[in-house]
Structure 1
């Protein structure tokens, strides 16, 4: 999705950026508190989780002032930001998957992932209800989904639910963007697609399901392979459309 840069002479985003900054600080504080409460063996995993949360907030603050054409931050963006914080916690867990070795921890992680997935549809609904839809909000939501898929893919590998190839699920979006920088045709904007949204939700649901303690190979491997196949087919359809549109 393309983003139309706003004219700073007619739109003053300062108030929105300040609210977004306050929301970011709250999410960062909550993320840090959760990571500090988890019994990580070392400091690298929680530090990585905090770094992910900081990076997401920094990019969000850099973009919202120029691409959010509304005088309010909006509950939709707040929900997306909260999902980003939860994703950052999972990033820490992906580097120390041993914390999920017990059945109780595994089920708790599955429940948390299910909540993140459930709220994936809430942010867009809130934006529409408040009439605060924007290209920024849609892109922010999409990037948080992509990050969540990458983190859950890494966690599936760390838990032994699938082989190293499962990382292809999380890296595919970033590979597509990277190729688009080399092949401008593939960087062209894509039309809104229900198929794309459905596949994204399906992939997140499958990766979240892999957190279930009883689920292991070969069933978990087959489920991950099915998610990879669905995502590959979706990206292939987009590539075909972009080449045809040229």
Structure 2
């Protein structure tokens, strides 16, 4: 048992320290290239430290014997997301170079489809890897929502905040934590959110078209979450009724006499 603990500690120190180091290096490159201000630096460093701490804790609790190639891809994507986060924070003081912003974000979105394929190809899929991937996706959408909201208004934040609102609601209503069935529609909607927000943020489209793209993204995401919540609620009620029936708690049918 002591050997496993030592191995896990070494793994955490090496993998997460490399990720934090690369994140700081990227911030240094961005700072040199665009003269990033204090807001961008502080936000980027906060992201690096928070990512290192959360990932280190998750690795220690999961007791993984190997970080795995897929998680390394996700860690690289998280590094890019940290760079995008710094640029968005810096945009409150000065607009970031469009090409740089779009390039970092586009690579992060493209790599979203790579880590899952690597995990399946190498047989290294783990619950931690899936959660890591999902959290990086969610945070990137939140950051892009913040950036686009500066142009179209705070309602855009609903796109980035919807997933976090769902997680918060699940703490109050445990039935929301049930496992959902696989859905290609859900995956498609989730995958298009980042693309739609990036198109709107890039400024390459007319403002009216960008607005329509963001509205479409919000509508499709609302539909997807609404459909899943309805399914979870219906399934929960069915399961509760089955339990009550098994325990003999279901109300007996009333007999009508004439």
TM (norm. structure 1) is: 0.85
Q: Secondary structure at the match of 2:72?
A: helix
Is the Cα contact below 8 Å between 1:19 and 1:73 reproduced in 2? no
Is the Cα contact below 8 Å between 2:84 and 2:104 reproduced in 1? no
- CA distance in structure 1 between the partners assigned to 2:232 and 2:220 by the alignment: 19
Alignment of 1:167 with 2:167, yes or no, is no
- CA distance in structure 1 between the partners assigned to 2:15 and 2:182 by the alignment: 26
Displacement of 1:192 in angstroms is: 3.7
- CA distance in structure 2 between the partners assigned to 1:138 and 1:29 by the alignment: 25
Is the Cα contact below 8 Å between 2:23 and 2:82 reproduced in 1? no
Q: Secondary structure at the match of 2:67?
A: coil
Q: Secondary structure at the match of 2:112?
A: coil
Aligned residues: 233
Alignment of 1:74 with 2:68, yes or no, is yes
Tell me which of the two structures has the higher relative contact order, counting C-alpha pairs closer than 8 angstroms and 6 or more residues apart: 1
Query: Paired residue for 2:110?
Result: 118
Displacement of 1:182 in angstroms is: 1.1
Query: Paired residue for 2:230?
Result: 240
Is the Cα contact below 8 Å between 2:142 and 2:159 reproduced in 1? yes
Is the Cα contact below 8 Å between 1:68 and 1:135 reproduced in 2? no
Indicate how the Cα distance of structure 1 residues 174 and 112 shifts in structure 2: closer, same or farther if over 3 A, else same: same
Query: Paired residue for 1:91?
Result: 85
Displacement of 1:210 in angstroms is: 1.7
Cα deviations by residue, 1:109-161 (Å, 9 ceiling, x for unpaired): 22222111110011111112221110000000000000000001111123x2x
Gapped regions of structure 1 (runs ≥ 5): 1-7
Q: Which of structure 1's runs of 4+ aligned residues deviate more than 6 A?
A: none
Gapped regions of structure 2 (runs ≥ 5): 237-258
Alignment of 1:42 with 2:14, yes or no, is no
Please point out which of 168, 185, 209 is paired with 2:199: 209
Higher share of residues assigned helix: 2
Cα deviations by residue, 1:78-127 (Å, 9 ceiling, x for unpaired): 111111121112112222326446xxx21332222211111001111111
Q: Secondary structure at the match of 1:133?
A: coil
TM (norm. structure 2) is: 0.82
Q: Secondary structure at the match of 2:34?
A: coil
Alignment of 1:26 with 2:26, yes or no, is no
Indicate how the Cα distance of structure 1 residues 25 and 188 shifts in structure 2: closer, same or farther if over 3 A, else same: same
